[in-house]
Copies of this chain bind each other. A is one copy, B any other.
Amino acid sequence: MARKQSAKNSGSGPAGVAARRVPMRDFSRSLPMSLLRAREAVMRQFRPSLRHHELTEQQWRILRALAAVETIEVTELARTAFLLGPSLSRILRDLEARQLIERRVAEADQRRAVVSISADGLKLIAAVAPSSEAIYAAITKRFGARRLAELQEMLAALEHSLSAMEVAEEGSVEADQ
């Protein structure tokens, strides 16, 4: 932690640092950073297992979403797996090439694509699920099941709070209360 900081108020760096005082809270304690760090701490536990099966986090999300339904349209899948259209489009192309999913156009509406998981996809899920569940159980045990449920509830409440909040548009930067 002992960082050599040759800094006085007149050392190297930009001259005249008096203007540095901008009144903002310590950004490392900001909500976005807290959420980012917490999520990273969680995902760090899962990534090695997924990587061992040649799966990214997003690919795993898609497979799991598909495993829960018979078929699903792309737009609905994007909402379920919480991915944007372009990302989903690319990943589905790859998963289809790996024959982990199947895709066909909807009969009623030729614009829509209907996706489903393949037998290979189900096999892959069955292969990954045990270690994934074990990791989740370990996290739950370490943090506390009650505490974890409480956290999830707060996260859902936060999400719900903000969903009703309209986003400040550009052009009038200071017109948001």
Interface residues of A (CB under 8 A from B): 1, 3-7, 9-14, 16-17, 19-20, 22-46, 48-49, 51-52, 57, 61, 64-65, 67-73, 76, 80, 82, 102, 104, 108, 114, 116-119, 122, 125-127, 129-139, 142-143, 147-148, 150-152, 154-159, 161-165, 167-171, 173-174, 176-177
Contacts and interface: CB of A to CB of B under 8 A. Distances in A.
B5 A114 contact: yes
Interface of A is mostly: helix
A42 B158 contact: yes
B16 A173 contact: no
Contact of A35 (B35, B61, B170): B35
Nearest to A72: B10
Given A3-B71, A34-B156, 8 more contacts: A1-B119, A13-B102, A19-B122, A22-B129, A34-B152, A35-B38, A38-B158, A48-B168
A163 B41 contact: yes
Contacts of A154: 147, 150-151, 154
Contact of A133 (B24, B70, B114): B24
7 contacts: A5-B71, A12-B116, A31-B139, A33-B82, A34-B152, A38-B156, A42-B162
A27 B82 CA distance: 11
B142 A151 contact: no
A122 B5 contact: no
Contacts of A104: 5, 12
Given A134-B177, A154-B147, A163-B41, A36 B82 contact: yes
